[in-house]
Chains A and B, each alone.
Chain A
Amino acid sequence: MADGVAGKDKCGEPRLVSLPLSRIRVIMKSSPEVSSINQEALVLTAKATELFVQYLATYSYRHGSGREKKALTYSDLSNTAEESETFQFLADILPKKILASKYLKMLKEKRGEEEENDDDDDESDDEAES
């Protein structure tokens, strides 16, 4: 693996966390209500993020479609965000992909429904049948 070196420090010993603490701090501080973070909290958040990346990847792979093909794809991840309650908070940034043609069709159907609703307001009882 070409990236293998990044996790070791100069002495060659494995480090406690491999994600850069400075970057984690910048992300944490970008939250306006946070005033200060002690070093232990920073290290723990970095470590938790590593565990999270591992968990998200293995969970999506196990529940995903690419197991036979030995592949992890975007749709495996967006499925995870949609189906697992724990990963629900990712739903906004991992939206399900759909074909543009399908989306246009959905849009058309929705518009059609709205128009129908506008047209026959007084016949709303019959609406449910269609």
Chain B
Amino acid sequence: MAERPEDLNLPNAVITRIIKEALPEGVNISKEARSAISRAASVFVLYATSCANNFAMKGKRKTLNASDVLSAMEEMEFQRFVTPLKEALEAYRREQKGKKEASEQKKKDKDKKTDSEEQDKSRDEDNDEDEERLEEEEQNEEEDVDN
């Protein structure tokens, strides 16, 4: 939870770097302009959250998900962000999948070494099934987002 008002600020160094990267080289950004953009960014987060939450409520969901955020962007007239955001989402999912597969591989290697009891084996199979189902759901979600 936000306990102090400055908890709602974004780090100035990161904001400044993003601005500098966006503008042509050598442009001077006044201190006032930096803090104004930083404040604007916080307000943007709140605005986007509130819009996304409306979409979640419409869908009778309690948890905000990726498609709510994408719908919010369109609602806020930031359609231009939708394509780069979808690309970022795909990159993020690939990254997560890579991490998951790496940890699964580790687990399997470990299991091979330790597995001697029948019970352990059957439990592992159950786990594998669950994971497969999860992956299927993820793929479905991707299709939804693409449409």
Contacts and interface: CB of A to CB of B under 8 A. Distances in A.
Given A18-B17, A55-B80, A58-B23, A45 B36 contact: no
Contacts, number: 199
Contacts of B49: 27-28, 31, 34, 37, 45
B81 to A, nearest CB: 5
A86 B22 contact: no
Contacts of A34: 49, 53, 64
Contacts of B18: 18-19, 50, 53-54, 57
Interface string A54-92: 111110010000100111111011100000011001100
Interface residues of B, number: 63
Contact of A72 (B27, B42, B48): B27
Contacts of B52: 41, 45
Interface residues of A, number: 58
A48 B48 contact: yes
A73 B33 contact: yes
Contacts of A129: none
6 contacts: A27-B46, A30-B2, A31-B50, A34-B64, A53-B15, A72-B27
Interface of A: 1, 3-4, 6-7, 16-20, 23-24, 26-31, 33-38, 40-41, 43-45, 47-58, 61, 66, 69-74, 76-78, 85-86, 89-90, 93-94
Given A16-B95, A30-B46, A47-B84, 17 more contacts: A27-B10, A28-B45, A34-B49, A37-B49, A41-B64, A44-B66, A44-B69, A48-B85, A49-B41, A53-B15, A53-B37, A54-B21, A57-B18, A57-B23, A61-B23, A78-B36, A89-B43
